[in-house]
Structure 1
Amino acid sequence: MSHPPTSRHKRWLTIAAVAVVTAAAAAPAEAGTPVAEVTATAETPTLFDDAAGGDASADDPAIWRDPDDPTRSLVLGTAKVGGLRVYDLAAREVQSLPAPKAPGAGDKPGRINNVDVIEGTDLAVATDRGRDKLVVYSVDPGRGTGPVKDVTAQDSAPYIFSADQDEVNKQATAYGLASWKDRKTGRIHAVVTQETTNKVALLELTKEAGGTYGYRTIRTIGIPTAFTLPNGKRWAPCEDPGEQPYLEGMRVDPANGMLYAGQEDVGVWRMRADLTGEPTLIDKVKDYGVPYTQDPGTGECVPGEDPGFGGDHLVADVEGITLLERPGGGGYVVVSSQGDSTFAMYDRDPAKGNAFVRSFRVVAGRGEGAIDGADGTDSLDIVNESFGGKYPQGLAVIQDAPDTPTVDGDDGEPREGSNYKYVDLRNLSAATGLGFR
């Protein structure tokens, strides 16, 4: 059932915690299997906070593969208040698109948070966390004015979660993102999460005049925020006052219409991408179920004794999620474990319970001019197809924050930077021993 995109007409659904289905425990890799280590082959220029105090930092990448000439493929990376950056396969910046301006004095400016390339199209979409909207881009490497162009129909781009600009300015706005093109209907959808809450919205892109795109809201649901533990006690993760455990990293598997979504302090959910049915928690963070007390003065959480109900492979926060697809079917769901800078790989097949397979990390290379590793990774993207040249069997792009080494600013204080690492998929295949082809 469709609903108008205005906030007052949205139908708010909540999935009861008692309805949560937990996946059967997945058999881990062989006991003692170490985390695989791989090095990067290239990295993009470092982004820093700008002189005005903005947040021009790398956050989320997406790979656009040119089907006609894969060597012209591009990497799109969000830079928050710094807008969107576009890189070539040599990790050189080829374009910088500014974030949208604030609509009025005292209003929040645009803040491009997550970006996603829509498979099989020349389109990408991004969440504008500052304005609570989607931004739609077209991609054309032959365009003389720049390969990426904003094609958002502003009159058809309503707020996603907010009722008005006052609510937008409070910044409980569009945050995480996943998009896909329905292989049966050809319709393009996006799933968007709300910062600081448990809400997830399903949107449909609408083609407007002049090759522009708007969108409409189909439904909004709430993901569980409290859980019954095996010992019968109720538990919820510790959050800042007024916040719920929220989600950011997401990916839709277009082959079966499943959405994988990371609830940062809880774990990884699998659910239908149309946001119907019951979600399944396929893995939990290690401190799932740990009780805590919260200092009323500082807001700091003091953990109690671990009852042992957490998972083995994810250290909060759960962040970026992508697919590593095998040619002909199969592959892996890859999840960023930000707390220990590793990436957990799960079998892509829901019928196998999305069983855990192996973890890896990106480490620093050796020798002069070597590229540093990826720390505290927020997001990643992987495409297991040939890009020719350096990446004949595929490319992984992984966010790194902070990038090292740090440099001093004009005031002599260190400026922490961030960027994106490029990893040759041949190297990752060899490191994990999985063989992706």
Structure 2
Amino acid sequence: MKRFLTSAAAVVKQGSGALLPAFLLAGCATVSETPAPRLPALDVPAKGETQPVGTANDDAADDPAIWRNRADPAASLLLGTDKKAGLYVYGLDGKVRDFAAAGRLNNVDLREVTLASGQGAVLVAASDRSDEAEPRIALFWLDTASGKLLSLGTQGFLAPGHRAMEAYGFCMGAARGADELARAYVVMKDGTVVESALREADGAIRAEALREVKVATQAEGCVVDDATGTLYLAEEDVGIWQIALDAQTLEAKAFARVGAADGLVDDVEGLALARDEDGQAWLLASSQGDSAYALFTLPGGKLAGRFRVEGGSLGGTSETDGIEVALGDFGPDYPGGIFMAQDGDNAPHAQNFKLVSWEAIRAALKLD
């Protein structure tokens, strides 16, 4: 059942204090009950896939993340959530390397960080929706040599007495303060996005809410472009918003709208960002309503093409939630990078994640 749509209203919260008024982005639309159209898209076959998640006969696999081993690209690691049960680590062969039974983790991201000691580490974090009234962030260290996760527990980040909110989407960006490891962006199911600073404290990682911005209806997918200081947010039945993180007040501005002109069929789900060695960047979006992916050039947001993961011996993807892309050498099967997408129908098996060569996408869409 499709929902009634409105566009976005933005509000900002600073520090741990009260909400500050921002502005209202007006407008509304309705969605028909007819099947989603299948807009033109090129077929690109999957090169690999992960083992299915453990939760069978349910919508369970959701969001991936990718860690690239620069010294040994073939030893890179893939992560993916089972939103009913926890978090997986896979090798490039798709086999499970580890599983953290951490509960209802929805979206996941990772960052290479430098600790106060000067030691480098890979911080993994995910939105924890185990308590739908109390949003939390689940935190882990990723041991890149063994592929194992070390749980750091969960962190609340909102001040006492806040309104009930369910953590849903999640992404991380670069630290924006000298004492920070990273910035975390938790997307609540009602369209609120809370920006928090992640800091070391007494041997743990602490989260502190700093600001927030809100769109009017359900949102989930997000990604941060550190090069431009921009947060991209998917409001599922409306489109994609861009938010300048360097601004004192967070403000959501339209980037792409649901509709044929921008290549998006609701729901708009996962977002991912690719930037090559020459600085050319693209934003990828899961057009879940027609089981396709739209690719936009950055900056500017021009639609560069659409593709589906179809063909080949591994089957395609459908109704994709989360996506991720990482460029660079990942070994002979993925010499230019990997695109990773949740497969909503991996029958007769449970849901999993499909892996696609970035070079194959680039060739299909003639990205020069």
Q: Which bracket does the TM-score occupy, shorter chain normalised?
A: 0.7 to 0.9
CA RMSD, 1 decimal: 2.6
Change (3 A) 1:183 1:201: closer
Which of residues 251, 262, 287 is equivalent to 2:223?
251
Question: What displacement does 1:91 show?
Answer: 0.8
**Is residue 191 of structure 2 the alignment partner of residue 193 of structure 1?**
no
The residue correspondences of 1:62-77 to structure 2 (distance < 5 A) are 62-77=65-80
**Is residue 212 of structure 2 the alignment partner of residue 214 of structure 1?**
no
Question: What displacement does 1:218 show?
Answer: 0.6
**Is residue 121 of structure 2 the alignment partner of residue 134 of structure 1?**
no
Given that 2:54 and 2:82 are in contact with CA atoms closer than 8 Å, whether structure 1 keeps it comes out as: no
Question: What displacement does 1:311 show?
Answer: 4.2
Instruction: Provide the residue aligned with 1:406 in structure 2.
Output: 348
Instruction: Provide the residue aligned with 1:232 in structure 2.
Output: none
What secondary structure sits across from 1:176 in the alignment?
strand
Tell me the distance in 1 between the aligned counterparts of 2:127 and 2:21. Answer: 23
Given that 1:64 and 1:75 are in contact with CA atoms closer than 8 Å, whether structure 2 keeps it comes out as: yes
What secondary structure sits across from 1:220 in the alignment?
strand
Over residues 274-312 of structure 1, what are the superposed CA-to-partner deviations in whole Å (9 max), with x where a residue is unaligned? 6724321111112xxxxxxxxxxxxxxxxxxxxxxx744
Query: What is the identity percentage for the equivalent residue pairs of Structure 1 and Structure 2?
Result: 32
- Which blocks of at least 5 consecutive residues in structure 2 are unaligned? 1-12, 28-38, 114-120
**Is residue 339 of structure 2 the alignment partner of residue 429 of structure 1?**
no
Which of residues 330, 340, 353 is equivalent to 2:280?
330
Change (3 A) 1:387 1:278: same
Taking structure 2 as the reference length, the TM-score comes to 0.83
Question: What displacement does 1:19 show?
Answer: 8.1
**Is residue 335 of structure 2 the alignment partner of residue 392 of structure 1?**
yes
Change (3 A) 1:249 1:162: farther
Aligned residues: 333
Over residues 145-190 of structure 1, what are the superposed CA-to-partner deviations in whole Å (9 max), with x where a residue is unaligned? x5221124x5xx22548848xx76xxx4111111012378473101
Question: What displacement does 1:42 show?
Answer: 1.0
Change (3 A) 1:161 1:383: farther
Which of residues 3, 10, 27 is equivalent to 2:15?
3
**Is residue 111 of structure 2 the alignment partner of residue 118 of structure 1?**
yes
Change (3 A) 1:246 1:68: same
Change (3 A) 1:96 1:56: farther
What secondary structure sits across from 1:402 in the alignment?
coil
Change (3 A) 1:184 1:66: farther
Question: What displacement does 1:205 show?
Answer: 0.3
Over residues 246-295 of structure 1, what are the superposed CA-to-partner deviations in whole Å (9 max), with x where a residue is unaligned? 21000000001001100001100011136724321111112xxxxxxxxx
What secondary structure sits across from 2:52 in the alignment?
coil
Question: What displacement does 1:60 show?
Answer: 0.1
**Higher normalized strand content (fraction of residues):** 2
What secondary structure sits across from 2:74 in the alignment?
helix
What secondary structure sits across from 1:389 in the alignment?
coil
Given that 2:270 and 2:285 are in contact with CA atoms closer than 8 Å, whether structure 1 keeps it comes out as: yes
Instruction: Provide the residue aligned with 2:297 in structure 1.
Output: 347
Change (3 A) 1:68 1:362: same
Instruction: Provide the residue aligned with 1:260 in structure 2.
Output: 232
Which of residues 156, 159, 167 is equivalent to 1:158?
156
